[in-house]
Structure 1
Amino acid sequence: MPLNDLMAAVSTQVLAAADRISTLRAAARLLACREAAEDRIFQSLCEREGVGSTAIGHGIAIPHGRSATLERPRGALLRLVQPVDFGGDEPVDLVFAMAVPAHYTHQHLMLLSELAEMFSDSGIRAALREAADETALKQILDDPQRVHSA
């Protein structure tokens, strides 16, 4: 199912980040509906990272958190110019951050499962890494099946 059907908004950014914290800060900025929510989303992402790394392998991390300010999930894909240490076995260059409403439980897990499945596809990972810009990243997320028909 396309991410746009599952989330209120999905943003993309090519980012020169120095480390995991600056990556999470940029993700929170993209995820926040309004400026006041940015710090709370950032804190939620950091708290989850404190429990354990959200790196899933293949240079991918899926940091996620909850926010009482959201009514529907929001996502942000960041392609990092230089990989950063996310506490996993290898540096990360693709980060899909997600913030969900505070009351989401089962839906949260289902979204994480959908994302993990999408990122398990080596063709999609390669296409995201080769995408020219944010617009191209968004097109891949909007229609990941197109990667295999191109």
Structure 2
Amino acid sequence: MNIGDLLAPERVHCQTDVSSKKRALEMLGEMLSNHLPKLTQGEIFDSLLARERLGSTGLGHGVAIPHGRLAGASEACAALLKLEKGVDYDAPDSEPVDILFALVVPADCTDEHLQILALLARMFSDPETLARLRSTSGPSDLLTLVREWDTEAPG
């Protein structure tokens, strides 16, 4: 699986005016709802927020992977948001988060959900990948980098 296949150009944004974790999750919900017609922005936001209440999806090193399973989702779908300035996210290393990769999967896709999260964790644990993502100047560059990342490379 290529993580880039979960994204589309309209769901990759570089944003400068997000001031909080809540606002970042709202934006991600809006981005995802445009691709998931059976779900509203509010339903997606509520799912992402509910998952955050169980424990922060911040990985550390400025990255978070908010995610949720929703009955109205017909397929796995993702959105990528790169912030100009990181926001407080309750990450384990207490660093502000500036890269958020949101994932929504159908309610019954437990195995696929876990496989995608594992791939994302591996991708975002690579310091070189993070540096390249942070150095990009626009959404198309971000999408290109994610699509080029080889998810089949040995761990």
Q: If the length of structure 2 is used for normalisation, what is the TM-score?
A: 0.87
Q: Which residue of 2 aligns with 1:135?
A: 140
In structure 2, relative to structure 1, the CA distance for the partners of 1:53 and 1:121 (3 Å cut) is: same
Give the number of equivalent residue pairs: 143
Moved more, 103-112 or 9-18: 9-18
**Letter aligned with residue 12 of structure 1:** V
Which runs of 5 or more residues in structure 1 are unaligned?
146-150
Once residues 118 and 77 of structure 1 are traced to their aligned partners in structure 2, the CA distance between those partners, rounded to angstroms, is 13
Q: Which residue of 2 aligns with 1:14?
A: 14
Alignment of 1:49-128 (within 5 A): 49-88=52-91, 89-128=94-133
Structure 1 residue ranges (4+ consecutive) displaced by more than 6 angstroms after TM superposition: none
Give per-residue Cα distances to partners, 1:82-128, cap 9 Å, x unaligned. 10011112110111011111111111111100000011111110111
Q: If the length of structure 1 is used for normalisation, what is the TM-score?
A: 0.89
Once residues 4 and 129 of structure 1 are traced to their aligned partners in structure 2, the CA distance between those partners, rounded to angstroms, is 17
**Letter aligned with residue 19 of structure 2:** A
Quick one: percent identity of the two aligned structures? 36
Matched, 1:31 2:32: yes
Once residues 29 and 102 of structure 1 are traced to their aligned partners in structure 2, the CA distance between those partners, rounded to angstroms, is 19
Displacement of 1:37: 2.1
Are the equivalent residues in 1 in contact too, given 2:64–2:101 (CA < 8 A)? yes
Are the equivalent residues in 1 in contact too, given 2:38–2:72 (CA < 8 A)? no
Cα RMSD of the aligned pairs, angstroms, is 1.4
